[in-house]
Amino acid sequence: MSLVIDARGLRKEFTVRVKAGRLRRERRSVVAVDGVDLRIERGEMLGYIGPNGAGKSTTLKMLTGVLTPSAGQARVCGLLPVPQRARLARGIGVVFGQRSQLWWDLPLRDSFDLLRHVYRVPAAEHAARLRRCRGLLDLDGFLDIPVRQLSLGQRMRGELTAALLHGPQVLFLDEPTIGLDVVSKQAVRGFLAELGRAGDTTLVLTTHDLADIERLCHRLVVIDHGRVVHDGTIAELHRRYGSRRLVVAELDAALVTPLTLPGAPLQRVEADGRRLVYALESAGVAEVVAGLAGLTTLRDLSILEPDIEDVVARLYRTPARSG
């Protein structure tokens, strides 16, 4: 395995002007990314997540050469992103969920053809890749429609194709499923999963939709306040932040006082007291059931596996620490 992305101590500071009186404005420095280290091997699928303003997109923009880091260094595909941006552009693909990289007034087919010339891809290679994307992403129905008239789901399929037509080694995806309906989301995920399984493209995915991460990424990097707070597998994240299984007990009638069980704190009471949710700490499922069965009639019982959203939400709420 070889390193495709090697970032050390990446830091980005922005200067913002803040009103400090009727006419006076003060310059203030805001640290968006604060010493991020990232090493990504060829073929890896990495989830890069964090709350709004954590520095995800800024990191991506530094890795792609769009933003100049204030400190630190990075190599992507063996190149320095900012000084060698034009060369690097041929080796990477980028999809922004919130921006279009296609030409608004051109039909998709023309956009793709223009990209062939922009990236100087030989015609046969371009045709082969486009043929495969057309098949896999079912583009044929709207290839001749101007991009401005496409639905979001159609446009995103076009964006994915556009990002892959020059055969990039690394594909950066910045919230590729934002705003998509469930079906389109699943389809994009399926396509990316298949791309990742082939193993020759490295995927870096930032998203707020953790289902994207669960479906696609083995490795997860969590960033908060510009610092990496977790770098490991999703299972490691659960272990590290003490994710707990939940026992949901549906009762026939509400208890006067919800039962407190040792080793299984009551998480929440729902449905007018007829649904109790306990988190399993030291207690086992059997102890919770036994405790409840002694007091009331259980109508139903279910056990929920740890939810990544829950873990990540707790992680976001905790003060930043170095990982």
What distance lies between CA 300 and its chain's CA centroid? Answer: 35
Among 41, 181, 190, 236, binds other proteins (CB under 8 A): 190
Among 1, 99, 297, 317, binds other proteins (CB under 8 A): 99
Q: How many CB atoms lie within 10 A of CB 296?
A: 16
User: Interacting stretch for other proteins, rule CB under 8 A, among 122-130, 254-262, 285-293, 306-314?
Assistant: 122-130
Establish if 291 lies at the interface with other proteins (CB under 8 A). Answer: no
Spatial strand order in the sheet of 202-206:
92-96, 170-174, 202-206, 45-49, 219-224, 227-233
Question: For other proteins, how many residues bind (rule: CB under 8 A)?
Answer: 66
CA distance 110 to 84: 28
Among 145, 186, 240, 275, binds other proteins (CB under 8 A): 186
Q: How many CB atoms lie within 10 A of CB 204?
A: 28
Among 33, 187, 292, 312, binds other proteins (CB under 8 A): 187
**Residue 91 or 291 having the CB closest to other proteins:** 91
Judge contact between 230 and 240, C-beta under 8 A: yes
Distance of closest approach, residue 137 Cβ to other proteins, in angstroms? 6
**Angle, helix 152-164 to helix 182-198, in steps of 10 degrees:** 10
**Residue 123 or 235 having the CB closest to other proteins:** 123
Q: For Cα atoms 101, 187, 237, give the angle at the middle one, nearest 5 degrees.
A: 90
Among 24, 120, 286, 319, binds other proteins (CB under 8 A): 120
Establish if 91 lies at the interface with other proteins (CB under 8 A). Answer: yes
Establish if 61 lies at the interface with other proteins (CB under 8 A). Answer: yes
Among 74, 164, 210, 261, binds other proteins (CB under 8 A): 164
320 DSSP 8-state letter: P
Q: Phi, psi at residue 99, to the nearest 5°?
A: -135, 155
Establish if 64 lies at the interface with other proteins (CB under 8 A). Answer: yes
Establish if 23 lies at the interface with other proteins (CB under 8 A). Answer: no
Residue type, 133: C
User: Interacting stretch for other proteins, rule CB under 8 A, among 81-89, 227-235, 244-252, 288-296?
Assistant: 81-89
Residue type, 110: D
Judge contact between 55 and 32, C-beta under 8 A: yes
Establish if 254 lies at the interface with other proteins (CB under 8 A). Answer: no
Convert 242-278 to b/e letters by CB count within 10 Å (16 or more is b): ebbebbbbebeeeeeeebebeebeeeeeeeeebbbeb
**Residue 89 or 247 having the CB closest to other proteins:** 89
User: Interacting stretch for other proteins, rule CB under 8 A, among 193-201, 222-230, 262-270, 284-292?
Assistant: 193-201
Among 59, 169, 177, 207, binds other proteins (CB under 8 A): 169
CA distance 87 to 95: 18
User: By three-state DSSP, how is residue 122 classified?
Assistant: coil
Q: For Cα atoms 203, 192, 147, give the angle at the middle one, nearest 5 degrees.
A: 105
User: Interacting stretch for other proteins, rule CB under 8 A, among 83-91, 255-263, 276-284, 289-297?
Assistant: 83-91
Distance of closest approach, residue 115 Cβ to other proteins, in angstroms? 9
Establish if 201 lies at the interface with other proteins (CB under 8 A). Answer: yes
Q: List the beta bridge partners of residue 203.
A: 45, 171
Which parts of this chain interact with other proteins (CB under 8 A)? 14, 57, 61, 64-68, 82, 85-87, 89-92, 94, 96, 98-101, 103, 105-106, 110, 113-114, 116-122, 125, 128-129, 132-133, 135-138, 146, 157, 164, 166-169, 171, 174-175, 183, 186-187, 190-191, 194-195, 197-201
